[in-house]
Structure 1
């Protein structure tokens, strides 16, 4: 194929003039075509087979879908000599029969090739279906696991909220008792309320019982219980500021009683 023939084919395929010229020049440098005049233009077939035609069109930027339609037409027009092996399944039956299926042997060969391709595609589809099913099963298991985790977290959050309300109520009662005791001391000692320091005996305030711990729970376990409540009620974590304040007071009393 010479440069003139290549340019005419590209133009016939719908490639614009500028791209056609650039492509012909590149093909000439890559020695895919010969310079005009070395091969007569009326020599009959321009391209050897459909594979060559499809590859050249693809190299020129023509899509596969449009390229196949153009190759079909070039076959009918006698511009291509043979049907290649690469994309023959996309070509019309009448073209194949004229160019490549001249006897029963050719028929059987192509039918065998098509069967092999069909079997390969069936295996591929089967594998994709199995993979898809496995992916769905995995996603369902993950979803069920996440739902269970959400339910558990909701129960835990509900329990913590109940415990927080209980502690808040007890702290309010303790605060009222503390204020009452402060007033009584003030009346007895005639001192300013803010100068009266009240220290409650440890037995008056059962920290372990308030936290729902056993009487034999260690101080470390009590500290851990308070820290957990402080984290839950902290305003920065979406908790209640009043609850956090009273629990913090309770925690400080316990910590001071341990130090003493």
Structure 2
């Protein structure tokens, strides 16, 4: 028994506060009780009725007052066993002794509170797990969506690069034809085109290469060239040679507009 339990016992027996303090101090000096150490475990349980009578007598409680107190403690389950003293028959009486549970009322209350807290924590953990799983599913959906968009962009880029290579090849073929004709004129293998009856050279039209309709205007042609220049630019992973020839075509067309 500790000091808090001793105070509770004396208070429950109706002992005054002054006498209770003196008695507890004396019991502490006599090492009959221990210091509570700040645990505040004030619920007291006595071994048997003989111990109860002895403590009440030592605290100065009259025998006539001790009897009903001990009887009450027996009914409340604060005394574990019936002692073998001379006054057993006097305080046991014919009242049935209550069956004492393995826990005190205070312990039962604490256990119920702990169970309630554990249940609340389990519900909280379950909610967190559901939220976590929902977040994972959302992230997976977003990842799949982004992967699809990346594949579509890569496919579009591949198609544009393929079209740009096709335009480059056509451009190179036209330039080779022009260079060949200039060499032939220089060597005199061909007469003056103004004096011959051959059909005149067709005017170069960039619209088909740019994927534009025949009715497209100069602004649309320039915009098409700029798009190809961005796609083929070396800083963006394009082909430097292809970019060079498209740039030359772009400059030529822009100068023809002046």
TM-score, with structure 1 as normaliser: 0.55
Match of 2:192 in 1: none
Aligned to 2:149: 149
Aligned equivalent of 1:239: 238
Q: Partners of 2:243 and 2:127 in 1: how far apart?
A: 58
1:44: how far off? Answer: 4.3
**Corresponding residue for 1:21?**
none
1:47 CA drift (Å): 2.8
Q: CA deviation at 1:104?
A: 3.9
SS in 1 for 2:38: strand
Equivalent residue number for residue 37 of structure 2? 47
What is the aligned-residue RMSD (CA, Å)?
2.9
Answer with 175-184 or 136-145: which moved more.
175-184
**Is the CA contact 1:233–1:241 (under 8 Å) kept in the aligned structure 2?**
yes
Counterpart-to-counterpart distance in 1, 2:112 and 2:201: 94
* Preserved CA contact (<8 Å) 1:167 1:210: yes
Corresponding residue number in structure 1 for 2:174: 174
* Correspondence for 1:198: none
Superposition pairs of residues 125-144 of structure 1, within 5 angstroms:
125-144=125-144
Normalising by structure 2, report the TM-score: 0.55
C-alpha displacement at 1:156, in angstroms? 0.6
> Following TM superposition, by how much is the alpha carbon of 1:181 offset from its aligned partner in structure 2, in angstroms?
2.5
Aligned partners of 2:227, 2:201: CA distance in 1, in Å? 22
SS in 2 for 1:205: coil
Q: Distance in 2 between matches of 1:155 and 1:202?
A: 38
Matches of 2:127 and 2:220 in 1, distance apart? 55
Question: Relative to 1, partners in 2 of residues 1:202 and 1:160: Cα closer, same or farther, differing over 3 Å?
Answer: farther
1:202–1:257 contact (8 Å) kept in structure 2? no
CA 1:176–1:221: 2 relative to 1, 3 Å: same
Check 1:180–1:229 CA distance in 2 against 1; reply closer, same or farther (3 A cut).
same
1:188: Cα distance to partner?
Answer: 4.6
Point out where structure 2 has 5 or more consecutive residues left out of the alignment. Answer: 1-28, 43-100, 190-199
Q: Which residue of 2 is the match for residue 228 of structure 1?
A: 227
Corresponding residue of 2:215: 216
Matched positions, count = 160
CA distance in 2, matches of 1:109, 1:217: 88
Distance (whole Å) between structure 2 residues aligned to residue 202 and residue 112 of structure 1 = 101
Q: Residue 103 and residue 239 in structure 1: after superposition, are their counterparts in 2 closer, same or farther (change >3 A)? A: closer
Report which of the two structures shows the higher radius of gyration computed on alpha carbons.
Answer: 2
- Alpha carbons of 1:167 and 1:183: their partners in 2 closer, same or farther (altered >3 Å)? same
